């Protein structure tokens, strides 16, 4: 029962944040950010939601910059709540897991904002941030794997969501490595995080409201549905992304030499000459 209080606190904070940003939009219009304009959002995570998140994080970012906190400090710190979220979810504390994972996700946004504002963005920092992102996401998914270890159907879905999530990130990194435009696709990390974190918060509520229901799929419907969506959409996105990368690589390859060009390499082809009578 205590777990629901963490979720209720998250919902109250989210509702207050949404209302505050709506008021800001009504009074002064949208808060535009170069990052969100470049990203563009998607059908799974709209641009206005991203703008609201960046607007909400402005005060703590300014405070951390004033305190001379570096982006790498924030990145490293985000591992702690991410690990705590994984442990909480593994033991069925979905509300607490939602709270801690949200804190880790916000930290992941903050480190990038600090790096850009202070002009210390670097390739080394991006590598460190990407590695921490993978560990943070793994902690949460591993917690779900442990929790559903005795329910094979949900376990398989969770494993599918895990490989799909990591392959989406891999396809983007691979595109950058071979120097082709990274395909956008669906179910990027921010989208996956929103789905799983919102579902975790809802699950802590449904577990209390439907406590007398013997069916697991009803008591924990939000998180199971979110896992299924992430598993399905991310793996479809992986196929589309890899297909786009392969097409881009083939398009930039030089055309194969034609047979007519063989003579230029010193190869003389035998030509038939017409036979005349006489």
Given this model, what pLDDT does residue 90 score? 96
Residue 24 covered by a domain: no
Domain membership flag for residue 130: yes
pLDDT digits (tens, 9 = 90+) for 50-87: 777 788 888 889 999 999 999 999 999 999 999 999 99
Which residues have a Cβ under 8 Å from the Cβ of 174 and sit 6 or more positions away?
245
Answer yes or no: is 226 within a domain. yes
In the prediction, which pLDDT does 186 show?
Answer: 77
Which range of residues forms the domain containing residue 148? 32-251
pTM above 0.85, yes or no: no
The pLDDT assigned to 161 comes to: 96
Count structural domains, the chain: 1
User: CATH number for the domain including 150?
Assistant: 1.20.120.1760
The pLDDT of residue 252: 77
Residue 278: the pLDDT is: 46
Q: What are phi and psi of 161, to 5 degrees?
A: -65, -35
Residue 101 lies in a domain: yes
Residues in the chain predicted with pLDDT less than 70, given as ranges, are 1, 32-47, 255-278
Q: Provide the pLDDT for residue 202.
A: 92
């Amino acid at each position: 029962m205590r777990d629901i209080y963490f979720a209720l606190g998250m919902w109250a904070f989210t509702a207050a944040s949404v209302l505050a940003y709506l008021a800001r939009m009504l009074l002064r219009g949208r808060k535009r950010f170069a990052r969100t304009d470049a990203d563009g959002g998607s059908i799974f995570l709209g641009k206005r939601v991203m703008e609201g998140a960046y607007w909400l994080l402005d005060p703590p970012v300014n405070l951390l910059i004033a305190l001379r906190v570096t982006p790498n400090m924030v990145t490293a710190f985000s591992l702690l709540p991410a690990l705590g979220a994984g442990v909480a979810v593994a033991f069925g504390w979905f509300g607490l897991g939602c709270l801690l994972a949200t804190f880790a996700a916000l930290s992941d946004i903050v480190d990038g904002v600090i790096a850009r504002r202070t002009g210390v963005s670097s390739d080394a920092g991006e590598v460190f941030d990407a590695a921490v992102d993978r560990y943070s996401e793994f902690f949460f998914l591993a917690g779900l794997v442990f929790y559903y270890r005795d329910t094979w159907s949900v376990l398989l879905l969770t494993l599918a969501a895990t490989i799909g999530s990591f392959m989406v990130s891999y396809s983007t990194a691979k595109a950058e490595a071979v120097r082709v435009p990274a395909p956008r696709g669906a179910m990027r990390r921010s989208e996956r995080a929103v789905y799983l974190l919102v579902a975790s918060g809802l699950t802590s509520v449904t577990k209390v409201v439907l406590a007398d229901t013997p069916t697991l799929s009803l008591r924990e419907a939000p998180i199971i549905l979110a896992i299924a969506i992430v598993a399905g959409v991310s793996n479809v996105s992986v196929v589309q992304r890899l297909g786009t990368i392969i097409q881009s690589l083939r398009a930039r390859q030089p055309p194969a030499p034609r047979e007519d060009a063989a003579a230029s390499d010193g190869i003389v082809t035998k030509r038939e000459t017409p036979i005349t009578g006489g």
